[in-house]
Amino acid sequence: MKRAVEPALSETVAPAAVEEEVSEEEEEETETEEEEEEDFQEYGRPLIKPVFVARSNRKTTEERAAQDQLEREREERDQAQIAERKREATAKLIDVIEREELEQEMAVKASLAERPDDTDYPDDEVEIEKWKLREMVRLLRDREERRLAEEEMQDTARRRTMSDAEIEAEKAAARANAPEKGKLKFLQRYHHKGAFYQDKVDTELLQRDYAAPTGVDAEIDRAALPAVLQVKNFGFASRTKYTHLADQDTSRDDPWAASDVSRPTGYKRGRDSQSSANGDKRYRQR
């Protein structure tokens, strides 16, 4: 009977003890919370509990600090090298710019030195008269150019009102009134008149007959010479064989060139074609 009562008593006592333990834990939690709130109010942030690290375990921190120090030193060296390169590039650029400016200045001075003297001479009567003459020539030249331009415009307007038959008749009349060009003699040397600049237009020079014979061509008539002498550079090593190809027969005299001649099979036109054909058994007469 006693044994049955003891477990019942223990069961009734156990819940009370559990409640006491729970209340103690709650009190501890509230105390820690109050301490954290006090720390936050005092320091502005919650304090972290310090953790002790043994000396043997502090090597990793030292290595990290040393590595960070090396990285900082490397970055400082790189920055110093970059700054030095920038200074060198700036110095080179300044040298190049100064050299170019000096060359330009020297070129300008050289061009100014080569420029002709255009200083006016207001007190020199001779220079004033020369200037008046140049100005008069310029005015006359401008007036002549304007006159020619107006005549060309009037002629263009006139021809636009003309018919095709009238234009052809005008061209025929111009060709009939044109001066006849000189005709070259037989085997006459041709000289190109060339193009040369002239300050003054010489009408006599422009109207000269450039087809007229000169030198030996004016003294000798090669058309009256024998046919053997009607060549260029006769008697010299540079003489020509023909005068021109218009009077030469350039067709081949070879009968094998005729289209109506039958050729043996395998014939090849050439220097030894006939001999090779005679020597071949296929072309022998049977």
Q: Residue 102: phi, psi to the nearest 5?
A: -65, -40
List the one residue out of 209, 148, 167, 152 whose CA is nearest residue 184.
209
What is the amino acid identity at position 2?
A: K
Map residue 261 onto helix, strand or coil.
coil
- Residues 38 and 28: beta-carbon distance below 8 Å: no
d(C-alpha 285, C-alpha 276), whole Å: 14
Task: Give me the pLDDT at residue 177, please.
Answer: 86
Task: Give me the pLDDT at residue 2, please.
Answer: 42
Encode the chain (286 residues) as per-residue pLDDT tens digits.
Answer: 444 444 444 444 444 554 666 576 677 777 677 666 666 666 666 667 888 877 766 667 678 888 888 999 999 999 999 999 999 999 999 999 999 999 998 888 887 777 766 676 667 788 888 889 999 999 999 999 999 999 999 999 999 999 999 999 999 998 888 877 778 888 888 877 777 767 777 777 777 788 888 888 888 888 888 888 888 888 899 888 887 777 777 666 555 555 555 555 555 555 444 444 454 555 555 4
Task: Give me the pLDDT at residue 138, please.
Answer: 94
Distance set, CA 191 to CA 155, 187, 209, 238 (Å)? 36, 13, 11, 20
- The structure tokens 């193009």 sit at 195
Task: Give me the pLDDT at residue 191, please.
Answer: 77
The secondary structure of residue 180, as a DSSP letter, is: P
Task: Give me the pLDDT at residue 109, please.
Answer: 83
Task: Give me the pLDDT at residue 159, please.
Answer: 92
For residue 257, give the H/E element and its range: none
